[in-house]
């Protein structure tokens, strides 16, 4: 299959959508991102790579970091993670408080804000230095030590994170947050501020395509059972309250972020990352969603 030609075809077909959608300008540091940016990077397990657009430019991965957070904590404490976080799609916005109160402070899944805040709290309990350990984990997955946090983005998120603060306080009232509220919020915003390129993110996500084992270093990062569960949650919960639409149109497990990135993978075959900052009303990349739909249609590849 001529993947390069397919990516170039997709790039031409999505041109009418470039620049449309809404930037996540409620985070001040993201308000200045150029909406006309677009990159798409495909990485196969045999190390073949194909690309179009701005694939080397760094962007804020935001909620895509939640996959790495879950993988790291589950590699330390296993199934205990799911005693405090459920695995059901939310059907509500990623920062909703209504469902959280109704369900006694137990988040629906690890990929909405409330779930990731509980994961952050677990990391504070079980990791000696969670800030350094998560970054090192991501660097190791990607094989790139240049990956870093963007402190300006982190501070920008902290300054406007009133709903996140409300969630942590609400969950603490139910006994599902064990650490100081400010410590949890500070660390969570730092995690969201990781900057990566499409190429770096595809390298990190390829470990999930390889069932939790590194392709280059052959290290076992998570067990097959843990991989299976993380992949299932990506499929059902990875796109806020648009997960069903993504499964219907694209058919790959993955995770999106309000920085405009989407990382997805086909188990045993490839990882693929698209970045375009303009978001649809659900908070997912408008161009990214269409580009991945075109990709799985043209290649005939999906999990279904």
pLDDT digits 0-9 by tens, 198-253: 999 999 999 999 999 999 899 999 999 999 999 999 999 999 889 999 999 999 99
Residue 100 CA to residue 27 CA, distance in Å, equals 23
Instruction: Indicate the domain borders of the chain.
Output: 3-299
Average confidence score pLDDT of the chain: 96
Residue indicated by tokens 């939310």: 90
Positive or negative torsion for Cα 57, 63, 66, 67: negative
Which tokens belong to 52? 């179009």
CATH tag, 3-299: 3.40.710.10
Positive or negative torsion for Cα 124, 200, 66, 94: positive
pTM: 0.97
CB 181 within 8 A of CB 169: yes
pLDDT digits 0-9 by tens, 154-185: 999 999 999 999 999 999 999 999 999 999 99
């Amino acid at each position: 299959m001529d993947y390069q030609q397919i990516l170039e075809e997709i790039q031409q077909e999505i041109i009418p959508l470039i620049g449309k959608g809404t930037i996540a300008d409620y985070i001040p540091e993201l308000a200045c991102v150029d909406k006309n940016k677009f990159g798409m990077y495909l990485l196969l397990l045999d190390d073949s790579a194909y690309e179009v657009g701005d694939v080397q430019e760094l962007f804020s991965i935001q909620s895509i970091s939640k996959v790495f957070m879950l993988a790291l904590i589950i590699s330390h404490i296993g199934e205990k993670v799911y005693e405090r976080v459920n695995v059901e799609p939310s059907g509500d916005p990623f920062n909703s408080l209504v469902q959280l109160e109704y369900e006694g402070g137990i988040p629906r899944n690890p990929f909405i804000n409330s779930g990731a805040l509980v994961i952050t709290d677990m990391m504070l309990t079980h990791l000696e230095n969670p800030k350094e350990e998560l970054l090192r984990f991501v660097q190791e997955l990607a094989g790139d030590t240049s990956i870093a946090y963007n402190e300006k983005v982190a501070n920008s998120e902290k300054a406007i994170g009133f709903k996140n603060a409300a969630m942590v306080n609400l969950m603490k009232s139910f006994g599902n947050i064990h650490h100081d509220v400010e410590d949890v919020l500070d660390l969570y915003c730092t995690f969201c501020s990781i900057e990566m390129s499409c190429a770096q993110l595809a390298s990190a996500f390829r470990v999930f395509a390889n069932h939790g084992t590194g392709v280059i270093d052959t290290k076992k990062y998570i067990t097959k059972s843990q991989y299976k569960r993380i992949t299932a949650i990506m499929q059902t919960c990875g796109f806020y309250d648009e997960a069903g639409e993504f499964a219907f149109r694209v058919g790959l497990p993955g995770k999106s972020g309000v920085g405009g990135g989407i990382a997805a993978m086909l188990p045993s075959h490839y990882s693929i990352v698209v970045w375009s900052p303009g978001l649809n009303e659900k908070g997912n990349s408008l161009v990214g969603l269409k580009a991945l739909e075109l990709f799985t249609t043209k290649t005939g590849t999906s999990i279904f």
